[in-house]
Every structure is written in C-alpha cells, then in structure tokens.
C-alpha cells in the first residue's frame, strides 16, 4: 500500500524561558521566524501533509503560516506527547503513513537530517535524532541499555545526578509509523516533574513489540533548540554565518562577515562589496559592484549596480545605478534615486524621485518632490510639504539650480533651468529659465563696527586698570 509522509511541527508552547510576550516560535532570526525556518526545511522533503500544532497565541502563529501548512489547535499545552496525539486526530486511525515530528524551535535543522530520519524507519519501531553536547543542560538525556540500544529519554528535571552526566541528548526530531505511535501515545502518563505528557515516553512502549528505536546522530550545530534569549542569539549567529558564506561563494566581498547582517530573502549580485555594519533586511536587492557601508541599514530597498551607500538608512527606497547615498542620509519610503543621482550628507528624503544625475548633496529635506534630471539642490534646502493638514507636491524641473537654504513652500513648481536665490522662501511657481529671489535688499552701513565699540566703551563702568607696557590704550 502507498505510505505517505506526514510532518508534524510542534509550535504550541509559550516559551516561558524567553521571558517575552511573543510566542517563542515567532521570534525572528536572520529575517524569518523560528517556525518559518523549521517549515522551510520540512517543505524541502515534500511531505504529503504538514500539520503545525499551535496553542499559545494560536491566532498570531496561524496568521504567519503558509497555505500548505495545516494548523492543529492544542488548546491546553499538556506536553509534547499530547501535542502529537492532538495532531494525529487529523489523520485516519488506520493510517499506515510515516509521521515525521520536529519541534518549531529548531531553526537550524536542514532537510537532509529529516531525510536521514525518515530513511532509517523501515523495519524499526522508530527513529530518534540525538547529538552529543559538552554541556547537555536543558535537554532530555538519552539512556541506553547494556547492549547499546536506546532504552528511554529522561528529561533534565526528572533526571538523577548520574543521568544528568549523560552527554547524548534528544534533538526533538523523530520518525514513527502512525498507527503504533497513536496507540503508544494513548497509554503514556504525565507522572513526571513537569506533569506533562512527554513524547519520548512512547519509545519504550513502541519497543515492546520487539523491534527497536534506532538513533540518527546529528551535528550539534544543526539541532540547537531555542529556549532562551542567548540561545536565540547563538542560532541567529549560525544562520548568519551560513547566509554570509553562501554570498561569499557567490562572489560577494565582506570585510568582516561577523559584522555583516544579511537576512534570508535578500538578493546580492556578484562583486557587491560590504563593509562592516551593513544590515540588509526584507526584500532588499543589491546590484553588481555596489559598495555598501560602513554602517548601512536597508529594508525592502533596491540598490543599483555600482551604487555607493555609506552610514545611511534606507527604507522602501530605490537607489539607481551608480547613485550615491550618504554619509548620514535617510531615505524613507517612496524615495527613488535615478542613475548617478546623489543624496548626500545629512539629507532626508521621502516620497521623492530624484532624476538622473541630479544632486542633493548636503543638509536638505525633500518630501513629496520630483527633482528633474541634472538639477542641483543647494545645502539647507527644504520642501515645506506639510501645511499642518495635508501634504503637497514640489516639482523641480530639469537642470534647475536651487540656491542654498531655499524654502520651497508646496505646492510649487520650479521650471526647467530656473534658479532660486539663496535663502529665498519660494511660494509661487517659477517659470523655466527664470531667477526667483525672495529676500530683503542687502543694506551696508560703513564704519559700523568702530561706532559700536565706542558706544560700548562709553557705557562700561570705569575700572582702575593696572598699568602694563602691553596694555592697550
């Protein structure tokens, strides 16, 4: 008969040891939730069904599930054994399928380990993944019989001092035949230190028929579980290392991979150069030969080939080929720099398109604006885009020259090749090629400084001054 593969992912626990309101499996590492990482590895072995056991903050967890994952509600979290028996209620009782079980708090597991686990099952009562830990604390210890076969797993809280010395631990990945598993689960009790139904308690029951539970050995770095914040950081470091290595193999240069943070899902072209402190998140894409960093945060942004970005923050921004950003620029959502455009030092932009070769080099705010190709926006220029009620557009024509410290009171249109005088407050449209100046005439009063000094001396109280050859008159 055809025997299918059903994957069961346990994700109902609260994760008390995280000391966080967020359900444990929704904590993120390198751009995805712990559960997402686990599900991606499960999906890669193409099971017939994927059942995800949810409980604590079930709605929040279910909202993150891909459509091919079937949520199973475990209303009360009575232990990993109870979680699996809840999931099995979704399968026909006579099912001859293989059940692959994994825990949603192990984001480093790869599909290869799942394959090895399932492959070990034929003819056996079960397969359990184990690994050796120098410091096994927190894990269930694997107790073996005199003949070397698996006897049972003892949880840390139930273990004697001698049992705690065992360094072989249960990873939390198993394969069992569905029908015997269901039968075994119906007989386990919660008579232990935590008052929970422990999944590993099925091992000895499954072996009563005579066949054995065998183990598959994993590398500790594959199966690290996340129970605490420091383990989350450790797992994140591992994931980042993997991601960075993959990009290095693809021709990306990183000065210091330990200080380069690339989320899963980010796309980099060959020849990209990353200095330390670069954080690339979400759907960020970086083109060939772009140089980023030191210190760039880019979320859901695209950075074109040959662009140069340093000490800057980009959120949903598009930086064109050979464009320049920073140091110290903030490109907020809707910012587009076309090819060779520049957003320089201490420049903030939002919802603004800067045309090809146009430059906004220093100390400026461009919001809800269009800057035409080759235009130059002087230092200190600001689009006054908000009247306290609504946002308005500013349009700067091609080749325009906006003098330093121009206030562009939107809505306003500056024509092509138009010029604004430094310090002007521009409230009306400027026709193409014109100069617009808005400021008082400069007055000059000759000899003013000397008269000012005299006035000051006349007012100052007379004080005896000690005579000295150097003293001024």
Q: Which residues are catalytic?
A: 362
Q: Does 101 sit near ligand UD1 (CB under 6 A)?
A: no
Residue nearest to Ca ion (CB): 225
For residue 330, the minimal CB distance to ligand UD1 (Å) is 39
DSSP reduced 3-state for 75: coil
Q: Does 10 sit near ligand UD1 (CB under 6 A)?
A: yes
Three-state secondary structure string covering the chain = CCCCEEEEEEECCCCHHHCCCCCHHHCEECCEEHHHHHHHHHHCCCCCEEEEEEECEHHHHHCCCCCCEEEEECCCCCCHHHHHHHHHCCCCCCCCCEEEEEECCCCCCCHHHHHHHHHCCCCCCEEEEEEECCCCCCCCEEEECCCCCEEEEECHHHCCHHHHCCCEEEEEEEEEEHHHHHHHHCCCCCCCCCCCCCHHHHHHHHHHHCCCEEEEECCHHHCCCCCCHHHHHHHHHHHHHHHHHHHHHCCCEECCHHHEEECCCCEECCCCEECCCEEEECCCEECCCCEECCCEEEECCEECCCCEECCEEEECCEECCCCEECCCEEECCCCEECCCCEEEEEEEEEEEEECCCCEEEEEEEEEEEEECCCCEECCCCEEECECCCCECCEEECCCCEECCCCEEECCEEECCCCEECCCCEECCCECCCCEECCCCCCCCCCCHHHHHHHHHHHHCCCCCCCCCCCCCC
**211/228 with CB nearer Ca ion:** 228
How far is 326 from 426, CA to CA, in rounded Å?
27
Among 47, 107, 120, 140, binds ligand UD1 (CB under 6 A): 140
Q: Does 38 sit near ligand UD1 (CB under 6 A)?
A: no
How far is 458 from 344, CA to CA, in rounded Å?
50
**131/310 with CB nearer ligand UD1:** 131
Residues 63-92, mask of contacts with ligand UD1 (x by CB under 6 A):
-----------x--xxxx-xx---------
**199/408 with CB nearer ligand UD1:** 199
Among 13, 287, 304, 326, binds ligand UD1 (CB under 6 A): 13
Q: How many residues sit close enough to ligand UD1 to count as binding (CB under 6 A)?
A: 30
**153/343 with CB nearer ligand UD1:** 153
For residue 373, the minimal CB distance to ligand UD1 (Å) is 55
For residue 105, the minimal CB distance to Ca ion (Å) is 5
Partner residues linked to 371 by β-bridges? 354, 396
For residue 377, the minimal CB distance to ligand UD1 (Å) is 53
For residue 24, the minimal CB distance to ligand UD1 (Å) is 6
For residue 297, the minimal CB distance to Ca ion (Å) is 32
Binding site partner of 200, from ligand UD1, Ca ion, none, Cβ cut-off 5-8 A by kind: ligand UD1
Binding site partner of 291, from Ca ion, ligand UD1, none, Cβ cut-off 5-8 A by kind: none
**152/315 with CB nearer ligand UD1:** 152
Among 12, 121, 353, 354, binds ligand UD1 (CB under 6 A): 12
**14/227 with CB nearer Ca ion:** 227
Piece of 97-105, 126-134, 147-155, 411-419 that binds Ca ion (CB under 5 A)? 97-105
Q: How many CA atoms lie within 13 Å of 209's alpha carbon, on the beta-carbon side?
A: 14
Among 107, 225, 372, 403, binds Ca ion (CB under 5 A): 225
**Whether 126 contacts 203, CB under 8 Å:** yes
Q: Does 355 sit near ligand UD1 (CB under 6 A)?
A: no
**108/412 with CB nearer ligand UD1:** 108
For residue 119, the minimal CB distance to ligand UD1 (Å) is 21
Collect all residues with Cβ–Cβ distance below 8 Å to 105 and sequence separation of at least 6.
11, 13, 15, 24, 25, 34, 38, 225, 226, 227
Q: Does 200 sit near Ca ion (CB under 5 A)?
A: no
Interacting residues with ligand UD1 between 106 and 125 (CB under 6 A): none
For residue 205, the minimal CB distance to ligand UD1 (Å) is 15
Whole-number CA gyration radius for the chain: 33
Interacting residues with ligand UD1 between 150 and 209 (CB under 6 A): 153, 155, 169-172, 198-200
Q: Does 105 sit near ligand UD1 (CB under 6 A)?
A: yes
**138/306 with CB nearer Ca ion:** 138
Q: Does 257 sit near ligand UD1 (CB under 6 A)?
A: no
Binding site for ligand UD1 (CB under 6 A): 10-13, 25, 53, 55, 74, 77-80, 82-83, 103-105, 139-140, 153, 155, 169-172, 198-200, 225, 227
Binding site for Ca ion (CB under 5 A): 105, 225, 227
């Amino acid at each position: 008969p055809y025997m299918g593969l059903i994957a069961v992912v346990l994700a109902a626990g609260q994760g008390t040891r995280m000391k966080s309101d967020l359900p444990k499996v929704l904590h993120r590492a390198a751009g995805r939730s712990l559960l997402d990482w686990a599900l991606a590895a499960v999906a890669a072995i193409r099971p017939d069904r994927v059942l995800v056991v949810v409980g604590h903050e079930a709605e929040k967890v279910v909202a993150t599930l891909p459509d091919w994952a079937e949520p199973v509600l475990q209303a009360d979290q009575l232990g990993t054994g109870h979680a699996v028996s809840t999931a099995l209620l979704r399968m026909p009782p006579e099912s001859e399928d293989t059940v692959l079980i994994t825990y949603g708090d192990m984001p480093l597991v790869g599909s290869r380990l799942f394959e090895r686990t399932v492959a070990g099952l034929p003819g056996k009562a079960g397969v359990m993944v184990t690994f050796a830990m120098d410091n096994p604390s927190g894990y269930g210890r694997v107790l073996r019989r005199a003949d070397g076969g698996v006897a049972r797993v003892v949880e840390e809280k139930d273990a004697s001092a001698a049992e705690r010395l065992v360094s072989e631990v249960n990873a939390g990945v198993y394969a069992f035949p569905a029908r015997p598993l269901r039968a075994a689960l119906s007989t386990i009790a919660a008579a232990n230190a935590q008052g929970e139904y422990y999944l590993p308690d099925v091992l000895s029951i499954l072996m009563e028929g005579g066949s054995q539970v065998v183990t598959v050995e994993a590398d500790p770095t594959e199966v690290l579980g996340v129970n605490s914040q420091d383990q989350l950081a450790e797992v994140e470091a591992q994931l980042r290392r993997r991601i960075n290595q993959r990009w290095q193999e693809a021709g990306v240069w990183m000065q210091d991979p330990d200080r380069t943070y690339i989320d899963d899902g980010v796309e980099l072209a060959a020849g990209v150069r990353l200095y330390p402190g670069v954080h690339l998140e979400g759907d960020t894409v970086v083109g060939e030969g772009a140089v980023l960093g030191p210190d760039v945060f880019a979320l859901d942004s695209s950075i074109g080939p040959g662009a140069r970005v340093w000490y800057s923050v980009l959120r949903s921004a598009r930086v064109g080929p050979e464009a320049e950003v920073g140091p110290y620029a903030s490109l907020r959502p809707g910012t587009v720099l076309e090819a060779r455009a520049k957003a320089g030092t201490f420049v903030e932009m939002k919802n603004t398109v800067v045309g090809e070769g146009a430059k906004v080099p220093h100390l400026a705010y461009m919001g809800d604006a269009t800057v035409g190709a080759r235009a130059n926006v002087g230092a200190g220029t600001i689009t006054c885009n908000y009247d306290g009620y609504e946002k308005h557009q500013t349009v700067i024509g091609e080749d325009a020259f906006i003098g330093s410290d121009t206030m562009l009171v939107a809505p306003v249109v500056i024509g092509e090749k138009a010029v604004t005088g430094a310090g002007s407050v521009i409230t009306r449209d400027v026709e193409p090629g014109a100069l617009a100046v808005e400021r008082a005439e400069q007055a000059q009063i000759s000899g003013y400084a000397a008269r000012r000094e005299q006035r000051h001396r006349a007012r100052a109280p007379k004080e005896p001054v000690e005579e000295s050859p150097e003293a001024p008159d």
